[in-house]
Chains A and B, each alone.
Chain A
Amino acid sequence: MSETMQRRQDAQWLEAFCQGDKNAALHLTSVYGPKAYAQAFRRLANAGEAEEVAQEALLKLWKVAPEWQAEKAQISTWLYRVVENLCTDILRKRRGSIVGLDAVAEPPDLSATSLDQIQTKGRVAALYAAMRQLPDAQREAIEMRHLEGFSNTEIAKATGQTVRAVESLTARAKRKLASLLMPKKEALGYEDESELG
């Protein structure tokens, strides 16, 4: 779906929300709640805090819904920015306090029985950990491009940068990620080149 169409659709959903359409409220929550949560979790590595962030971000969305301007933003990029700021606030508070047990990253859920699933979870967890070590601008660029699926143009608009700057940030982030993940390659099960694809 094109960016313009997405914006129009977003505006229609929000308009329906404001008109009291319960389906719109449930639809928007079901689509954007988990997205906001996933983004917050990747950044904070804490389920409780990620839930709080997602909840607060959606509340902010409901508050701005009556004044939403379709031509200015799409919900996903707007929400991305809000979640990003809320996470930054939490991380700032964390730095100023002693890290409690709640703030410690939760171990991966090993309830998955197959080796493949465990391996995948391990790889994803390693990726998130490496991404948290990237500079903010690079992390945002790579996250929006490769995990959220935004185009470079959308990222540029959302972050207030040029498309070339976004491309450069993404390339640098990839190189940094590769170097951060390199020592873990064997541990993550990349023993055989033919395995990848």
Chain B
Amino acid sequence: MNQSWDDDELEAVFKAARENPPQMDGVALDRMRTAALAEQARLQWERRAITPRFWDEIRDIFVKPVPVLGSALAACCGVWLALYPAEFLPDIAMGLSGMTDQSTVFYALYEELEVNEVTP
């Protein structure tokens, strides 16, 4: 008896496998059909409720202005930096530190008020 497998023998097994594929349970196939119809109905509902135009409108409101506003803001900053003399830049820094001083003053006032509340 020949113990090795030649191409014909393998092909015969493949043929048997093709002709006898694993059979799906009929109930499972029904479940699949039901799921397919449900998914189709959901898709239909979605298409009716949310039309492509709806998405276009959303995009017009929120997405489209973003690059325009961003560019405008960047241009303003550029112009401001170009026109503002460099010698004033230390003043801006002073202004910022002044803000810090102000907050220190407010805190001192607040503390004083608190003390006054305790000892009227």
Contact = CB atoms under 8 A, between A and B. Distances in A.
Contacts of B4: 178, 182
B12 A121 contact: no
Interface residues of A, number: 48
A34 B60 CA distance: 45
Task: Label chain A's interface by main secondary structure.
Answer: helix
B91 interface: no
Contact of B25 (A18, A47, A181): A47
A38 B14 contact: no
Q: Give the size category of B's interface with A.
A: 35 or more
Contacts of A62: 36, 39-40, 43
B49 interface: no
A45 to B, nearest CB: 9
Contacts of B13: 123-124, 126-127, 181
A135 to B, nearest CB: 18
Which 10 pairs between the two chains have the least Cβ-Cβ distance? A41-B22, A178-B5, A62-B39, A38-B21, A37-B24, A146-B14, A25-B36, A29-B36, A33-B32, A51-B28
Given A50-B22, A124-B13, A197-B8, 11 more contacts: A22-B37, A25-B37, A26-B37, A54-B24, A58-B36, A62-B40, A120-B20, A127-B16, A147-B14, A174-B7, A178-B4
